A and B are shown apart, each in its own frame.
Chain A
Amino acid sequence: AQSVAQPEDQVNVAEGNPLTVKCTYSVSGNPYLFWYVQYPNRGLQFLLKYITGDNLVKGSYGFEAEFNKSQTSFHLKKPSALVSDSALYFCAVRDPRNTGGFKTIFGAGTRLFVKA
């Protein structure tokens, strides 16, 4: 069965410093991986995805993520954090070989707090 884990409930980083939000997954095949961000009182917004190809994926607002198959990870990164990046971040995984039922699994979310 597929699963996704975000091991940190909260990540704290100073503005201007690099940030990493971790995500690991368990899928028997080659996964599709997604990152979403949720600002207060808003719906989730798509940031980026990995389907195939280059392991480094670039997305919205300067975010990027690296797919690491051997470590089954898809960590979200940004070289220089902004206070406005403070939000709740969700990793999601989909097994495209799962032909039945709901395919996308969301992690529990990681709250990012960027201090000025």
Chain B
Amino acid sequence: DSGVTQTPKHLITATGQRVTLRCSPRSGDLSVYWYQQSLDQGLQFLIQYYNGEERAKGNILERFSAQQFPDLHSELNLSSLELGDSALYFCASSPAGDSYEQYFGPGTRLTVT
């Protein structure tokens, strides 16, 4: 158990809908990262937050957004969903500092039908 929790574990929804994925980082970790993993794209970095502020953006679509709250949990919002958004979405956290590894949550499997 990494100490990172993600809810829900599975999500099935229809095209055009909007969903919210939730992540609670390990106790004390200030950085939260979101990744998308699909069979054909591998592990894609979406966005990073550090202590409530956006730190870096990766290949995140404009239909997607995220935020980190004062209690450090984070939410990833996916809207106008398309079939191609079906994937595993991982959250990871790490302490401050470059030498630290990331701790990954169990993921949310999103299926868009």
8 A Cβ contacts from B81-113 to A: 90, 92, 98-99, 101-107
A32 touching B98, Cβ below 8 Å: yes
Contact partners of B102 in chain A: CB under 8 A: 44, 46, 104
**Known contacts A42-B106, A45-B2: A51-B43 contact under CB 8 Å:** no
Size category of the B interface is 20 to 34
Size category of the A interface is 20 to 34
B18 at the interface (CB under 8 A from A): no
Contact partners of B45 in chain A: CB under 8 A: 102, 104, 106
**Known contacts A102-B48, A109-B42, A109-B43: A34-B101 contact under CB 8 Å:** yes
Could you tell me which B residues sit within 8 Å of A by CB distance? 2, 4, 33, 42-43, 45, 48, 55-58, 90, 92, 98-99, 101-107
Could you tell me which A residues sit within 8 Å of B by CB distance? 32, 34, 36, 41-46, 49, 51, 90, 94, 96, 100-104, 106, 108-109
